[in-house]
Structure 1
């Protein structure tokens, strides 16, 4: 995207890169598969979604900063899905863009996969709800209604323990081993 548009890359200020280490390689590949899966579910044509694992951040931001080049948009740290998720809020337009802090499936708002920090995730949902924004914009979707009922559904259905790539893989492997041992 940067090469195509010249856009700057903005990320939450963090001590290490998102896809760092061996776990990062697995997460990067999983995220690519999830992106392909979502595009397929949305009826988008198949195309190469590959992006570099190591991103060069142009602007590291913290809660309360203004978005570089867009002084009317305020950065809100909204961790939980990951440790570095941010949303951006325009008070004049009463609009908040939450990226994939929440996703819509079967006309209901739910938590995304993965959720690394469930307690932080719940706090982020409350933070967005308490803005009372007239428009809540999601990645891959656009504006949604984020009322008390939608908030309660997310909080009731969101995981209470981390649900991550590695945990899901371990659970699947344990299940496979148990089924193999039961046969044998």
Structure 2
């Protein structure tokens, strides 16, 4: 059946988008663990639907505001978790556990800057999706949504492309700050990031859904500026600390 609408649910520090169909629902990202109740209440109270209508939760990458709620949503609704096909977890080993705690801390920092109170954000650092997807696959049960691999922010970022309507959810690939656009602070793979922005640019979506900053259309100049301003070296927490203490 045809897509009815794509609604935005304001989460703890990001917007969570839900694709609404007459008989099923698709969550375009997993949100924070503290967002789970908001998603379930939206389904029940705003849409007037049973929570079991939620069939798939995508996880575009493993950061707290995109992966933190996925397992809890699966437990509450029976939905499938769909994420990137990667051999190793993003938070691999002890170094990965340390990095996850840093990322949770950064999420709390963002929340404080937004005037939000403290919320528990911990989640299992190892995600085992029910279905792993790659470039060109479609979302299981939602054949009108195509998977694009758009790494750069991390090594496994996914973008979701609704080709029939030319609407695209780019997760953290591009951030909208006030009326401007920028890359995320963390860019693990700069060369891959430039290629990912170019991939989105080539498809020329009519509307882009941003995890941070709402939704809107992008002019070609925005893509070119993002590509031009991408750093040549990785920009991660570790690199920042290293350069700070080496000065």
TM interval, shorter chain, is 0.7 to 0.9
Other-structure match for 2:26: none
Determine helix, strand or coil for the equivalent of 2:171.
coil
Other-structure match for 1:51: 123
Determine helix, strand or coil for the equivalent of 1:130.
helix
Other-structure match for 1:178: none
C-alpha distance after superposition, 1:116-136 (max 9, x if no partner): 111110010011111111110
Q: Give the Cα separation in 2 of the matches to 1:67 and 1:34.
A: 30
Q: Give ranges in structure 2 of 5+ residues lacking alignment.
A: 1-68
In 2 relative to 1, CA 8–113 (structure 1 residues): closer, same or farther, beyond 3 Å?
Answer: farther
After superposing on structure 2, the runs of 4+ consecutive aligned residues of structure 1 that deviate more than 6 Å are none
Cα deviation for residue 44 of structure 1 reads 3.6
Pair 1:118 & 2:118 matched: no
Of 147-156 and 55-64, the range deviating more from structure 2: 147-156
Q: Give ranges in structure 1 of 5+ residues lacking alignment.
A: 176-184
Q: Give the Cα separation in 2 of the matches to 1:65 and 1:150.
A: 27
Other-structure match for 1:38: 110
Determine helix, strand or coil for the equivalent of 1:73.
strand
Pair 1:104 & 2:176 matched: yes
Residue pair 1:103, 1:110 contacting (<8 A) in 2 also: yes
Other-structure match for 2:165: 93
Cα deviation for residue 75 of structure 1 reads 0.2
Other-structure match for 2:101: 29
C-alpha distance after superposition, 1:87-114 (max 9, x if no partner): 0001111100000111123432111132
Residue pair 1:10, 1:59 contacting (<8 A) in 2 also: yes
Between the two structures, name the one with larger relative contact order (CA 8 Å, sep ≥ 6).
1
* CA RMSD of superposed structures (Å): 1.7
Pair 1:3 & 2:72 matched: yes
Pair 1:135 & 2:207 matched: yes
In 2 relative to 1, CA 42–67 (structure 1 residues): closer, same or farther, beyond 3 Å?
Answer: farther
Cα deviation for residue 29 of structure 1 reads 1.3
Q: Give the Cα separation in 2 of the matches to 1:96 and 1:43.
A: 29
TM-score scaled to structure 1, two decimals?
A: 0.86
Determine helix, strand or coil for the equivalent of 1:74.
strand
